[in-house]
Chains A and B, each alone.
Chain A
């Protein structure tokens, strides 16, 4: 299957700083990528849909000024958590589809564990 690489796999940052997480499709072009957030032992909650060359679409309740998404190329989307606070500590994971080439499944990155101290 297609490969999605997410970096870093874990990060610890100080409160008030910003953290950038990268999501790359390694062997296909992803016009659309998705960013999810997951708290321990809970489900994945969609944060936003990242579209190459246009603004991201955020889900209700997600602060777009806090979670900046950039999808500058067909293989890279980035999520920047700005002015991070301890409550932003979570597992963030991206996914992509090899659309429009087809395929039914979404391919996920390895996820990023963010800890804000």
Chain B
């Protein structure tokens, strides 16, 4: 069964606007972690933000914020004030605490338009 679901294969966003990338997950663990990574065309995986399952507040890192809705099992990424350099593929991932492996979603390609 798929653990991480990203339903948006591609999105376009205007420069300086905000964009929300959807991510839902499936786990029976009480303790888990959710991650977002950015992968530009160069291929490197750039860590953006992390949310622990017990964290009560939504994580924020600069222009990135994670909208964590535990009951809905969703962990959407919000990128505010989009920049041209934000154009990349974005992956949502989950780590279940009984296992240090990361399960990745299919990814969302974001293209920022000037």
Partner of A46, one of B37, B44, B52, B102: B102
Partner of A104, one of B52, B89, B104, B109: B52
Q: How many A-B residue pairs have CB under 8 A?
A: 53
Shortest beta-carbon distance from B43 to chain A in Å? 4
Docked-complex contact B101 and A46, CB < 8 angstroms: yes
Docked-complex contact B44 and A44, CB < 8 angstroms: no
- Residue of chain A at shortest CB distance from B102: A106
Which residues of chain B from 20 to 69 have any CB-CB distance to chain A below 8 Å in the complex? 33, 35, 37, 42-45, 47, 50, 52
Chain A positions 88 through 117: 1 when the CB is less than 8 Å from some CB of chain B, otherwise 0? 000101010101000011111011010000
Docked-complex contact A104 and B44, CB < 8 angstroms: no
Q: How many residues of A contact B (CB 8 A)?
A: 23
Residues of chain A whose beta carbon lies under 8 Å from any beta carbon of chain B: 1, 32, 34, 41-46, 49, 91, 93, 95, 97, 99, 104-108, 110-111, 113
Residues of chain B whose beta carbon lies under 8 Å from any beta carbon of chain A: 33, 35, 37, 42-45, 47, 50, 52, 89, 91, 95, 100-107, 109
- What 6 pairs across the A-B complex have the smallest Cβ distances? A108-B45, A111-B43, A44-B104, A105-B47, A43-B104, A104-B50
**Residue contacts A-B, CB under 8 angstroms, 18 given:** A41-B107, A42-B107, A43-B107, A44-B45, A44-B104, A46-B101, A46-B102, A95-B45, A95-B102, A104-B52, A105-B50, A106-B102, A108-B44, A108-B45, A108-B47, A110-B42, A110-B43, A110-B44
